[in-house]
């Protein structure tokens, strides 16, 4: 983001757009369609000769404002918003890949993203899952029909950190489209553009909105990919500035045709949530590190997964690339202790799925979000059967430490 700091720029963004009445928040435009006195203006908008609104399935002025904000936060070229993080991810795959293409993805991914790969395979897209903490595994999996590499920054739930820098170099040298899901780190802790990422995916439902009250997703094109060399761009979208071809195709084939659009109301709520992103991330990352250190020395705990701990296999990488290691923390209790009993003893921490809420949340992962994939896939993803995943919120650190202590004492 420009000269100003992250938060300064963010909280003054709307007011700096010369809004009517000196408003400090962008208005919520609730119009589904937009009318023109001269119908030629509408025709020009349809044909891409003029910027403007047509129908809320593709954009509204409120969503445009949020998209611009995300784009600046990610230092990108253009951003599209969707009704959820999954809608954003599916748009990347379904609009930019064709039957016969191949993608290489990290084996350590959000469960629903892995589930999408099953669908892609049925549509004739080959998917190879690798241990992407080592770029050599990604390189070895590349084939002549490989189009895309997909990874997350800090993997959910076992917190592996892929070699996102090395993979950036690899994709750059091979002309592969590099997609990073930045949800767990957020634009505040990490900028994927710095490792040559081409498309940044975010679930805005998590740390971006932050309050656990809205769902949304985004895709940001960093402007680093040469779309003229990408064979899957339809003829209709090979027009105008080539830097915008991928964006245009995702907008038309994704938002327009598949229709998973955000609403203006939700966009406004997300924008307000994001204003405190840096403050929330600082607080929750600090508390998570304190909890991780506490748990790591606790006699009832077998293993703590948190990239901010020096014992984490990718600690050096996380420490170098991220401002902090975010607030997802996973824990294995020693075999004789029941993780569900532990969760039931916690009084502040809410037993719930979801991440990036102001409130701390926890769930046992094997019987819930990673139940469907089965034991073998769980083992390959480094997920133990007794693992508990925490999303640490912004509560006062001492209160959370006390809650963990009393719950462990009761076991
Ligand atoms: C939650 C999540 C998603 C999906 O986002 P939704 O907004 O819930 O659809 C994608 N990737 C990661 C890493 C997530 O944590």
135: pLDDT strictly greater than 60: yes
86, 116, 180: residue to mutate for ligand 1 pocket, most atoms within 8 A of CB: 86
150, 156, 203: residue to mutate for ligand 1 pocket, most atoms within 8 A of CB: 203
Q: Using CA atoms, how far apart are residues 25 and 30, in angstroms rounded to an integer?
A: 15
Q: Using CA atoms, how far apart are residues 364 and 390, in angstroms rounded to an integer?
A: 9
pLDDT of 152-211, one tens digit each?
999 999 999 999 999 999 999 999 999 999 999 999 999 999 999 999 999 999 999 999
**pLDDT number for residue 326:** 97
pLDDT of 258-297, one tens digit each?
999 999 999 999 999 999 999 999 999 999 999 999 999 9
Contact status, residue 141 vs residue 130, Cβ threshold 8 Å: yes
**pLDDT number for residue 270:** 98
364 phi and psi angles, rounded to 5 deg: -75, 125
Sheet containing strand 78-82, strands side by side: 78-82, 217-221, 199-203, 177-181, 146-152, 102-106, 126-130
Neighbours of 220 (CB within 10 A): 30
109 CA closest ligand 1 atom index: 13
Alpha carbon of residue 71 to chain centroid: 14
pTM equals 0.96
The domains found in the chain, sorted by start residue, are 6-274 (3.40.640.10), 277-409 (3.90.1150.10)
**pLDDT number for residue 168:** 98
Percent of the chain residues topping a pLDDT of 90:
91
Which residues of 163-205 form beta strands (DSSP E)?
177-181, 199-203
**pLDDT number for residue 241:** 93
**pLDDT number for residue 7:** 95
**Measured in angstroms, how far is the CA atom of residue 201 from the centroid of ligand 1?**
9
**pLDDT number for residue 380:** 85
Partners of 81 in the beta sheet?
Answer: 218
- Say which residue the tokens 């508390």 belong to: 287
Residue with the smallest CA separation from ligand 1 atom 7 is 85
Contact status, residue 108 vs residue 162, Cβ threshold 8 Å: yes
pLDDT of 305-328, one tens digit each?
999 999 999 999 999 999 999 999
CA angle 236, 242, 245 (to 5 degrees): 50
**Measured in angstroms, how far is the CA atom of residue 91 from the centroid of ligand 1?**
14
370: pLDDT strictly greater than 90: no
1: pLDDT strictly greater than 50: no
pLDDT of 66-113, one tens digit each?
999 999 999 999 999 999 999 999 999 999 999 999 999 999 999 899
Residue with the smallest CA separation from ligand 1 atom 5 is 85
**100 dihedral zone (left: phi>0; alpha: psi -120 to 50; beta):** left
Partners of 201 in the beta sheet?
Answer: 181, 219
pLDDT of 243-258, one tens digit each?
999 999 999 999 999 9
- Tell me whether residue 58 is exposed, middle or buried, using C-beta atoms within 10 angstroms of its C-beta: 0 to 12, 13 to 18, 19 or more: middle
Q: Token pair of 149, please? A: 């590499």
Query: Which among 101, 166, 160 has a CA at the least distance from the CA of 127?
Result: 101
**Measured in angstroms, how far is the CA atom of residue 110 from the centroid of ligand 1?**
7
Question: Would you give the DSSP letter of residue 18?
Answer: -
Residue 373 confidence class, pLDDT cut points 50, 70, 90: confident
Alpha carbon of residue 379 to chain centroid: 23
Q: Using CA atoms, how far apart are residues 405 and 348, in angstroms rounded to an integer?
A: 12
**Measured in angstroms, how far is the CA atom of residue 345 from the centroid of ligand 1?**
28
């Amino acid at each position: 983001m420009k000269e100003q700091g992250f938060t300064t720029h963010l909280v003054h963004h709307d007011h700096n757009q010369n809004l009517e009445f000196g408003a400090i928040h962008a208005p919520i435009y609730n119009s589904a369609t937009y009318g023109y006195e001269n119908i030629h203006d509408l025709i020009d908008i349809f044909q891409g000769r003029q910027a403007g609104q047509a129908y809320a399935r593709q954009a509204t002025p409120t969503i445009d404002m949020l998209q611009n904000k995300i784009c600046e936060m990610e230092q990108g070229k253009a951003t599209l918003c969707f009704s959820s993080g999954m809608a954003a991810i599916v748009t990347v795959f379904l609009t930019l890949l064709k039957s016969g293409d191949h993608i290489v993805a990290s084996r350590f991914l959000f469960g629903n993203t892995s589930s999408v790969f099953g669908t892609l395979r049925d549509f004739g897209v080959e998917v190879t899952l690798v241990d992407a903490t080592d770029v050599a595994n990604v390189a070895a999996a590349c084939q002549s029909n490989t189009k895309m590499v997909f990874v997350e920054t800090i993997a959910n739930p076992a917190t592996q950190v892929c070699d996102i820098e090395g993979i950036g170099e690899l994709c750059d040298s091979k002309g592969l489209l590099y997609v990073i899901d930045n949800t767990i780190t957020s634009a505040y802790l990490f900028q994927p553009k710095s490792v040559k990422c081409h498309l940044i995916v975010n679930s805005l439902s998590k740390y971006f909105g932050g309050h656990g009250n809205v769902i949304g997703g985004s895709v940001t094109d960093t402007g680093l990919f040469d779309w003229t060399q990408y064979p899957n761009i339809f003829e209709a979208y090979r027009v105008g500035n080539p830097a915008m071809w991928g964006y245009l195709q995702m907008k038309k084939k994704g938002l327009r045709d598949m229709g998973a659009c955000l609403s203006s109301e939700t966009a406004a709520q997300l924008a307000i949530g994001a204003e405190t992103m840096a403050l929330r991330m600082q607080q929750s990352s600090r508390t998570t590190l304190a909890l991780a250190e506490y748990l790591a020395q606790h006699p009832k705990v077998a293993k703590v997964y948190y990239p901010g701990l020096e014992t984490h296999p990718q600690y050096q990488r996380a420490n170098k690339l991220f401002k902090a290691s975010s607030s997802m923390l996973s824990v294995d209790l020693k075999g004789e202790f029941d993780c569900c009993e532990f969760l039931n003893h916690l009084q502040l921490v809410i037993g719930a799925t979801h991440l990036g809420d102001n409130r701390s949340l926890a769930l046992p992962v094997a019987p819930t979000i990673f139940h469907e994939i089965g034991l073998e896939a769980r083992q390959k993803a480094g997920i133990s059967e007794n693992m508990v995943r925490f999303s640490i919120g912004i509560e006062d650190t001492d209160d959370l430490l006390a809650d963990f202590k009393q719950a462990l004492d009761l076991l």
